[in-house]
Amino acid sequence: MHMTMTHKEPPPCFGDLKIVFPESGEGFRSSPKTCLACEHKTACLKSAMGGREGLKVKEEALDRAYAAGMVGFFERWSKKKAFHQKAADKE
């Protein structure tokens, strides 16, 4: 359930990656229309992407960029190392 612009408290779905940035059947992610109307959308998505699951999403995107030739081996290695360090810091 998403809140409207009149509420001050974040909704229960706040920062839940599976709700606020779900994966489609084709493997792409996007926010639902209900999230776009929420006053907490920016902070919520930042919170979701800043967590361990968000780091996995970023790593998957990096792997796709590498496979498409948009990122080189060393850049991919460096960024993956940083993602793993951030994930370890969150434990």
pLDDT the model gives residue 44: 95
DSSP the chain: ----TT--SPPTTTT-HHHHS-B-TTS-B---HHHHT-TTHHHHHHHHHHSHHHHHHHHHHHHHHHHTTSS-HHHHHHHHHHHHHHHHHH-
Average pLDDT by stretches of 10, the chain with 91 residues: 61 94 86 92 94 90 94 95 87 72
The verdict on pTM exceeding 0.75 is: no
pLDDT the model gives residue 28: 83
pLDDT the model gives residue 91: 72
The residue extents of the domains of the chain are 1-49, 51-91
pLDDT the model gives residue 7: 59
pLDDT the model gives residue 18: 93
